Amino acid sequence: MPKLRKYAILYALLPLLLDVFGAVPASGQAPSTPNPQLASKEINARVEALLKKMTLEEKIGQTVQYSAGFATGPSASNLTYDELVAKGQVGSMLNVVGAERTNRYQHIAMEKSRLHIPILFGLDVIHGHHTTFPVPLAVAASWDPDAAETVARVAAEEARADGIAWVFSPMVDIARDPRWGRIIESNGEDPYLSSALARAWVKGYQQGDLSKPDSVAACVKHFAAYGAVIAGRDYNAVDMSELTLRQVYLKPYRAAVDAGVATVMTSFNSINGVPATANPLTLTQILRKEWHFDGFVVSDWGAVSELKNHSIGDAATVARKALEAGTDMDMEGDLYGTEIAAQVRSGKIPESVVDEAVRRILRVKFALGLFDHPYANVGPAYTPTPERREAARKVADETMVLLKNDPVEGIGALLPLTAKAKKVALIGPMADDALDLLGAWTVAGNPKDVITLKSALSDRLGDKMLYAPGCGLLSGDEEKTLKSVTFTGAAKTVDETLPDDEKTIGEAVETARKSDIAILALGESTNWMEGEAASRVHLGFTGNQEKLLEAVVATGKPVILVVLAGRPLQLKWASEHVPAILEGWSPGIEAGPAVADVLFGDVNPSGKLPSSFPRAVGQEPLYYAQTPTGRPARGDLSHMPRDAAEKFVSRYMDEQNSALFPFGWGLSYTRFSYTKPTVDRSEVPVREVVDNHNPAVTVSVDVRNTGSVAGSEVVQLYLRNTEASVEQPLRELKGFKRVTLAPGETRRVTFPLGFDELNFYGADLKKTVEATTYDIWLGGSSLAAAETSFKTVE
C-alpha cells in the first residue's frame, strides 16, 4: 500500500479510534498530557534504562509499600525492613517521619541495594504538617483557592524538610452525608467548588515542578466515589449510575489530574459491585485512557489484601486483579510482594503488566529528583514561626461562617462583641481543648502549639472573662471506652476519675448568671468522633453538651454559640433558641485568635458553607443540587398536610425538606445587595459553545455593600438547564468570586460561561450541549434570588 494512502486511511480512522479509547474530550479539544514532567523524554529514557537492569523481584519491590510507624489499619506483618530495603524489595515507606529516620532507610537503599533506587516516603499530610491549619472542609468554607494553596505550600515545605516527598492529599471525594466521618477531609458537597479547590491543593503541593526541593508529590484520593458510601458508613459499598458517577463524583478527581497531580489513591469501597482497588473502568478506562494520567496509583491501607473480603478471589487472584486493573502500588497489603512473582513466572500475569506499574512509579521518583538528591537535610526541631502562625490565622479567619446573628431586645445584634459587656462567660468543653481544636488527621501536629479560645479571650478580656468547662465532650462511659482504645488492639486500663457533668453544668449555669453575655464553645471530639472510621448516626452535640446549652440558655442571658466541629452538626434547637451562632470548625493551631478575631469584629466573617446543615439526620444525604421530581413540594411545608395538594408531593410529614443552613450560606457584619443580572447575549448557537473554547456568554451583576463596615462577599452563580434530554439539577454552582467592598462601594462582577459550565452528560455518557434555556441566579448562597436567563439554539 502506498505510504500516502496508508497515512490517509489512518488519519481518517484516528477520530474513531480516539473516541473508542476515550482520548478526545467531547468538547473537541485534543488530548493533552496533564503532567509534562512525567511525560518528558529525558525522564522516560532514564526509566527505561533502569527497568532493563531490574530483576523481577526488584521490579515487584517497587510496587510494595510498608509502614514503619503510625497505623490506620491492621499491619501486614512484622517484616524486617532493613533487609528488604537492602534487597531492593521495598519501593516506598509511609509513616517514617523526620530527616534522621528517613535518611537511615534511604542510606540502606542507596548504598546496599544493587541498583541504588531511592525509597519514596509518604505520609498523611492533610491540613498542614507541623503547622496545623483548619481541616480541609473548613478551608473549603473560605471559598478561596488561594487559601487551599497556602495550606498545601506550607505543608509541602515542612514535609520535605522531614524527608517526606509524597503526601496523601488532597482528598476530593464529593461528600453529601455528614454521618460519614471523613467529610472533614473533603471539600464538601459540590463538584464545581471541589474542583476549584482540588486544583489549588495540587498547585500548592507540587508548584508545577516536582523537582523543586520544597515540592512534594500530591496524591488525590480516594478514587473513586468514596464519599457516597451507603448510609454514610465508612468502608461501605457505593451503588450509583455511571451517569451520576461522571456528572458529579468524578469531576474533582479529573480537575486534580488536569492540574498535574502525580499520584492517585484508590478507595476502600466497591462501585456498583466492583471494588475500586480492582476496578478496570475507573483505573484504566477513565483514569488512563480518557484522562491520560501518567503518574502511579497506590491502594489505600491494606485495600489490596482486603479484596479477599469482597469475595472476588483468594490472595493470588485479588493481587492479580488489582495489578491488572491499574493499582500500581500495594500499601501495607503484603500481597504484591508475596503473590505476583509466581504468577508472572507461570505466565498468568504478563511481565509487561509489572513493567508498566514500575515505569509509573519510577517516573515519579525521577521527577522528584530522588535519584540525584535522595537525602533530607537534618535541621533544628520545628517551632511555629510568627510567619507560619500568621498564615494559619489568616486562613482560619476566612473559614469562619456566621450562621446566625439575630438582634436581641435592648442590645441589638450580639456580634461583634462590644465594650457594653462588662462580664463575658466562656463556657464549654471546646474552649480549652487544644487536642480537639487541632482537628483530626494531624500526624505531625502538636497540641502544645495550639492557642485555645480560653487563652485568646483571656488575653483580650482579662478579669472581665469568667470561665467554666461545663461538661465533657463525651459522656463518662464514652470517654472511658474511647480512652482505652489503641491501634495495637490491646485495650488500655483507664482508672482516672471522670468529671461529674451534673455538677459542672450547675457550675456553668452559675457562671453564666454572673455574666452579661455567655459564649458557649461546643462541638465533638475530633480525636475520636471525626475522620476515618468515625461514622455517626446522631449528628447532635456529643455527651451532655446539648443539656449544657439548654441550661445556659434557660438563664435568660444572651448566648453566643461557637460550634467547633469538623463536620456539619444538627443545630435545630440552637437555631431556634440562640441568637448568634458562629461555625468555627476545627481551626488548627491559631484556633483561639481566629475565633476571637471574628467575635470582636477585627475580622468581618466571610466564610460560606461548603456543605448543607440538616434540620434532622433523617434528611441525609442532603445537598442543594437536587434533581426535579414530578410532584414537587411548593414552598417549604413545615406543617402536616391540609389537603391532597400538600399530601401527595415529595415531602416529609414531620420536617421541612430544606436544609437548616444551606450550601453557600454565610452572614456578614455588613449587608450586600445585588442588581438584576444581565447577559451579553440572549441566544447562543450550540455549535459555537461546543467548538469555541472561549466564553460563549458573559453574565454580569452589580454588588453593593449597603452596610457601615467593609466586608468580603462570595458572589455565587447558579444555573439550571431547563430543557435537557437528561434531567438536570434544580440549581448547580457554576462560578464564584470573592470581592471585598468598602461601605457604599459597588462593583460589577462578571462570569464567563462556556462549554465547561454548560455541558452535561447525556444518556450515552458523553458530554453534550443542547438547545435549551438556562436560568441563572446570582447571590450570596444557593438561595440566590437575582435572576436572568439565556438560550442555546441550533
Q: Catalytic residues, which ones?
A: 300
Number of Cβ within a 10 Å radius of residue 404: 20
Nearest to 732 by CA among 774, 676, 679, 689: 774
Residues 6+ positions from 561 with CB-CB distance below 8 Å: 520, 522, 549, 574, 578, 580, 581, 582
Q: Which run of H or of E encompasses 590? A: none
Q: Residue 42 gets which letter from DSSP?
A: H
Q: Where are the alpha helices (DSSP H) in 207-283?
A: 242-244, 251-258, 280
Q: Report phi then psi at 757, rounded to 5.
A: -85, -25
The burial of 531, by beta-carbon neighbours within 10 Å (0-12 exposed, 13-18 middle, 19 or more buried), is given as buried
The burial of 145, by beta-carbon neighbours within 10 Å (0-12 exposed, 13-18 middle, 19 or more buried), is given as buried
Are 224 and 171 in contact by the 8 Å Cβ rule? The answer is no
Are 596 and 456 in contact by the 8 Å Cβ rule? The answer is yes
Are 293 and 287 in contact by the 8 Å Cβ rule? The answer is yes
Q: What is the spatial distance between Cα 737 and Cα 747, in angstroms, rounded to a whole number? A: 12
Q: What is the spatial distance between Cα 115 and Cα 110, in angstroms, rounded to a whole number? A: 8
Write out the three cell numbers for 355: 513493567
Q: Residue 30 gets which letter from DSSP?
A: P
Q: Which run of H or of E encompasses 718? A: strand 711-721
Number of Cβ within a 10 Å radius of residue 114: 12
Q: What is the spatial distance between Cα 436 and Cα 432, in angstroms, rounded to a whole number? A: 9
Q: For the chain, state the CA radius of gyration.
A: 27
Question: How far is the first Cα of the chain from the last one, in angstroms, to the nearest whole number?
Answer: 42
The burial of 475, by beta-carbon neighbours within 10 Å (0-12 exposed, 13-18 middle, 19 or more buried), is given as middle
Nearest to 431 by CA among 609, 606, 560: 560
Q: Report phi then psi at 718, rounded to 5.
A: -120, 145
Looking at residue 141, its amino acid is A
The burial of 506, by beta-carbon neighbours within 10 Å (0-12 exposed, 13-18 middle, 19 or more buried), is given as middle
Q: What is the spatial distance between Cα 275 and Cα 579, in angstroms, rounded to a whole number? A: 47
Instruction: Tell me the CB-side half-sphere exposure of residue 547, using CA atoms within 13 A.
Output: 15
Q: Report phi then psi at 647, rounded to 5.
A: -85, -50
> Which segments of 108-262 are extended strands (E)?
120-123, 166-167, 219-223
Q: What is the spatial distance between Cα 426 and Cα 435, in angstroms, rounded to a whole number? A: 18
Burial 189-228 (b: 16+ CB within 10 A, else e): bbbbbbbbbbbbbbbbbbbeebeeeebbbbbbbbbbbbbb
Nearest to 269 by CA among 311, 227, 298: 227
Q: What is the spatial distance between Cα 347 and Cα 345, in angstroms, rounded to a whole number? A: 5
CA distances from 141 to 194, 441, 663 (A): 11, 18, 10
Write out the three cell numbers for 134: 483548619
